[in-house]
Structure formats: structure tokens, C-alpha cells
Structure 1
Amino acid sequence: MSDTSLITHLRHIDVAMPNFAEQRRFYTELWGLTESHGDTGVSFLAAEGSPEQYVVRLREDAHKRTDLIAFGAADVADVDTLAARLMAQGVRLVHEPRAIDTPGGGYAVRFFDNEGRVVEVSADVAPRRHRTIEARESVPVRLSHVLMNSPTPEATVAWYIKYLGFRLSDTLCVGGRGEIMWFLRCNTIHHSFGIVRGPHAAFHHASFELRGVDEFMRGTGRMRRMGIERLWGPGRHRAGDNSFSYFLDRAGNTVEYTTELEVLDEDTWHPHLYDLRDPANADQWGTANEMDEFIAAKSHNDVAPGLFVAPPM
């Protein structure tokens, strides 16, 4: 596989759940996303500051599952090149490159990763009219990053580096217990994707970028006042140097407000290994509640159904 990544950025995360109406209300009325398109049992949710047609797709289903993770490519030729490389390497496709009929259209290939998650890479998607987020406006600017749990994280990290051209930014460990979290990038942003050591393959968390620290704190406070279950934060991570506040959505998925995620110099950056036994590596500010195994377990999420099974849309 070429060392050159054909992936440019993260587009959206698509999830399904039985309590669709409740989830839709959470993300639009509380979390701050805007429904850009919708139909019976499906909702496409945009971030006001992002040109992406949507950053979250909700779909009603009898079972909770992650439908797919979507990334962008520069043009249709890159989608074709990536698909050809994947097929030559024996990666199983969901479908070959073709026109897609989701909002904004475009041209995409879908395939399974090594653990059976569905990944989409698309190009030529029409941008959405978006706007500048104003001071003190605590709604997401964009989807920042998505992390996934894996029972075989070393192999999964290696797969995304080998086949999709991701680069390792930093790794977290816990002393002699070994490495537990890997942050991967496809551009100069510290991470848009990552893998967490977990008991099973599942969604770990999705993070949404706010305008600045003031807007981040206002959003954090709004969630707390509304009684949304808080897992961890507010604080500031060492890896990525970003602020964090983690909550649970109505289906038990972990979602994060963040801001100021680090932008790297590709020519000089070298990955770090941060040991979480030093509390400053988890939270530089020292303001967050203490992380423990019970809080962490909530982000392990439910066992992902439908691995190596394509979503219905």
C-alpha cells in the first residue's frame, strides 16, 4: 500500500437505535446540531459551522449499532485509486465506487475494516451552506473526531495505517498494563480517528468542536443544567492539547464537547507515549472528576451487532 493517504478528512458518523425520536430530540434540541434533511426513521444532522451536509446520521432500527464511519477524499479519481488498492490487497468491499444518493450526492466506495466496521470514503459531495459561529454561541462548529473500541487494537491501528494511510500522532498507556489508546490523523489535525482497547468492537465516542473555550464551557454547563449524564470533564487532555467534557446521549453513546485540538507540523512531529499514571497526562488543568474503571466502562458501549453486515442505507 502507498504511504500517501488518499483520505483528506472526517465527514460523518452514522448510528442506528430503537429510540430514534428521543435521540433526534437530544441532538437537535440539546446538543446543538441542525437537521438538514430527514425522512421517516432517518435524520441527517449538520453542524452549523461545517460545510459537510451532515456530521451525524441517525437511523431507526430495532438494534443499536454503528452503521458506518465516513471520510472524505479530494476527488473521484482518488476514490477509484483507493478502491483499486483495497481490492488488490484483498479488503472486502461493501460496494465498488459509485454515485451516492445521500444529501449532497457524491461518489463513494464502502468497505469493511479488519474487525467488520463499515467505512465509506467519498468525494464530489456538494458543500452545505454554513455560517460563522458567533461568540458565546455554544453549538458545534464541526465533527472533530471519532474513536472506536477494539479487542485487537494493535492490529486495528496497523490496518488503518497500512490500508488507509493514517499516521500515528500519540499513544496513551497505563504503566506496565500497556498501551490503551491510539490517536490517528489523516491531515495536520492531531486526530480525526482513534482506537481504544476495549472488551469488544464498539463505538467509543464522537467529539464535536466548539468555537472556543468560553463556548465549550457554556455548552458543558448547559448539558449539566439539563441533567444530561456527565461522564468526565471539563478538563484538558495532554495528547491533542484539547479541552474535553464527555456525556452520554439517549442511547448510551459517549459524546464529547471539545475545542482547540492541536494542529501539527508534519515535518517535525514525533509521536509521544503518555502514561496516564501521571494525572496531568489525562487532564492538564486538573479540573475534571477522577476517571475510574466504572466511568470508563460506560464508553466501552454495547457489543456492536452487524459486524461484516452492511447497513440498509
Structure 2
Amino acid sequence: MAITGIYSITYATDDLERGTQFHKDLGLNLVREDDAGADFELLDGSQVLLRGLASRDLPPAYGESVCGVREVCWAVDSEASLYELAGDIARDRELSFSGTAECQFLDDAGLSVRLRVFSLKPISAELDPTNAPGRVERLNKLRTWYERARPQQMQHIVFCSPKPREAALFYVERLGFSISDIQEEGGVFLRAPGNVQHHNLYWQRADEYGFRHVSYGVANVDEIMAGAAFMARQGVNSHLGLGRHRISSTFFYYLPNPCGGDAEYSTDSDCLDDHWQPRVWGRAFGHIWWLAQVRPNEPAPRVRLANAEDLKLV
């Protein structure tokens, strides 16, 4: 099983105070704060770490921007798995250990990656029954009311590269990730071997290297919109509003993050196992199914099962 999901991400920010307040408002739990940075923890035990640009322990910048996520730490299920992965990685790049349960290196795109032995806490979500014409699942009972969002886990993270297929190949061949889906002229969606989310990592095609967004999983659309309303009252508004992707089926709501990129509230993503057959999607067709902001036209349907050539990546 080896890698089971995202353990932590590390931001570099030029406005630590504003970044800390943003993540508090977003609904993350602050566990430590001082002049050097702030640490937040989600319900599954994963962490979001904010560090000022003067911090001495910051990993190197990924891309041209000094702000944004500089490092992703992936949870690994055991020391045996960690050492097996580390032994292979050390064949062709420098690797450093922190104790016996953590190691760090650069991936093929130049992003700092850390592996840490850690058991992400299981999340237990209550079912909120949904009524529909001809189907009554909730009788004499109100739906759950949310005052704001409280993200439970980091479901995926997105980086861009001029060569996303080459960047994705490292994770498939060296870290055991699976290809979930491919977006024509867009990028590659990857799932960690010990996770069922549609994707935990997306390498997106762009002219530059950089960080795009991290997805925070919440219970349902009601919680997304409670979080959206709370953030709007703090002066933070989405550039797209509520929408749903065709690829992964995820409901999304992106918010500009003062630390770099976007923070995404997300829910109801597809879940996959090794029986899933990857698709190849037209970029516009796969990206968005619908948006609260009505688009002038809809893209033509373009989706097919991936073949062996598609899955070679390079």
C-alpha cells in the first residue's frame, strides 16, 4: 500500500498574518503560531504549515514565485515501505533522512517531496439523506445546518509544469501512484496507492512551473456554501463560484489564497480502486460540467477509454 495520502503541505508566504487569518477563516484548526509561522491540523491529522519567507527551514521555491506550496509530505504506511521507496529513489538523486521515519528529495519537476511514516486518522461522516420526487429518504427530519465549513482532509493538490506527463511519470514509476484520468492538452490525474480518492495529485499543463491549488474535503454542498458565505463575509470571494467537474465528479468552490494559488472546498468526488479504467478527456469538456455562472455555450462531448499508448506518458 505504501503512500496513503497527503500528510502535510508547506507554504512560503510574504504575509504571515494575513495567511494565518485566511486559514482560520477557511475552517482549519490552528495548533501553533509564532513569529516564524503557523501550523494547522485537519481532522485526519494532516497538517498545513505556513512559513514566512525569512524562515531558515523553507524548502526551495517551486517555479518563479517565492510564495505558494513549496513541499508536499506524503504519509507512508510503515517504515518498511519508507525504506523500500527511499532505496529506489536514492539510485539517481540526493535523499536526506530526518530520523528513521522521514526522508526528503526533489521529484523530476524540481518540487520538494517528503515521505513520512504516519497513519492518517479515519474519517467517519454521517449520511444526510436526500429527498427527491418519488423517493423519501428523510421524513420528519431537517437537514444538518452548517454555520461554516470545517475541512476534514486534504483530498488532492495541483501543480503545473510545461511537461506534466514527464512530471507524472516519476510518481507512477517510482512512488506507485496510478493514473486515474488524462486530460488532453491538460495534464494527468494521479491516485496514491493507499487511497481511494479519484486523484491525490494533478499535474497540469502550463507554460510555467508553479502551484495551483489544494482541495479540502467537506461533507456536502451545504457545507461548501456555508463556508463560501462565511468567507465572503470576510471579504474573500470565488472567481468561479460553485461548480462541478466532469472529471472526478467533484463539487468545487475555489477561493484565492493570500499564501499563493487557491484553496478549494470540495465534496462528492468519485472514489476508485485498481479496477478503474482511466479515461482521456477533452480539456474543456472534462474540466467543468456546470457552473453557477452560466457559460455562453457548452463544449462538445469528448471522452474515451485510455489505451496503452496514452498510459505510457512519455
Q: Summarize deviations over 1:226-264 as a string: whole Å, max 9, x none.
A: 331422230111111110111111234211110011111
Aligned residues with identical type, % of pairs: 25
> RMSD between aligned alpha carbons?
2.4
Of the three residues 27, 45, 57, the one matched with 2:49 is: 57
Instruction: Kindly state the Cα deviation for residue 64 of structure 1 after the two structures are TM-superposed.
Output: 2.0
Please state whether the residue corresponding to 1:68 is helix, strand or coil. Answer: strand
Q: Which residue of 1 aligns with 2:82?
A: 79
Residue of structure 1 equivalent to 2:243: 235
In structure 1, the residue corresponding to 2:274 is in which secondary structure?
coil
The count of residues paired between Structure 1 and Structure 2 equals 265
Tell me by how many angstroms 1:192 deviates.
0.7
Aligned to 1:16: 12
Q: Sort the Cα spacing of 1:189 and 1:65 in 2 relative to 1 into closer, same or farther, 3 A.
A: closer
Alpha-carbon distance between aligned partners in 1 of 2:111 and 2:9, rounded to the nearest angstrom: 12
Letter in structure 2 aligned against 1:22 = R
Q: Distance in 1 between matches of 2:115 and 2:31?
A: 21
Q: 1 CA distance for matches of 2:216 and 2:256? A: 13
Equivalent in the alignment of 1:244: 252
Aligned to 1:43: 38
**Separation in 2, partners of 1:40, 1:229:** 28
**Gapped regions of structure 1 (runs ≥ 5):** 100-106, 174-178, 292-313
Task: Please give the alpha-carbon distance, in whole angstroms, between the structure 1 residues aligned to 2:145 and 2:122.
Answer: 20
Q: CA separation of 1:203/1:286 partners in 2, compared to 1, >3 Å: closer, same or farther?
A: closer
Distance 1:235 1:255 in 2: 14
Kept in 2: contact 1:237–1:243 (CA 8 A) = yes
| CA pair 57-277 structure 1, distance change in 2 beyond 3 A | closer
Q: CA deviation at 1:135?
A: 5.1
Which of 206, 210, 224 matches 1:216? 224
CA contact (8 A) 1:50 1:142 kept: yes
What is the CA-CA distance between 1:128 and the residue it aligns to?
7.5
Q: Is the 8 A contact 2:165 2:187 kept in 1?
A: no
Q: Give the TM-score taking structure 1 as reference length.
A: 0.77
1:125-136 equivalences under 5 Å are 136=146
Match in the other structure for 2:111: 117
Distance 1:110 1:135 in 2: 42
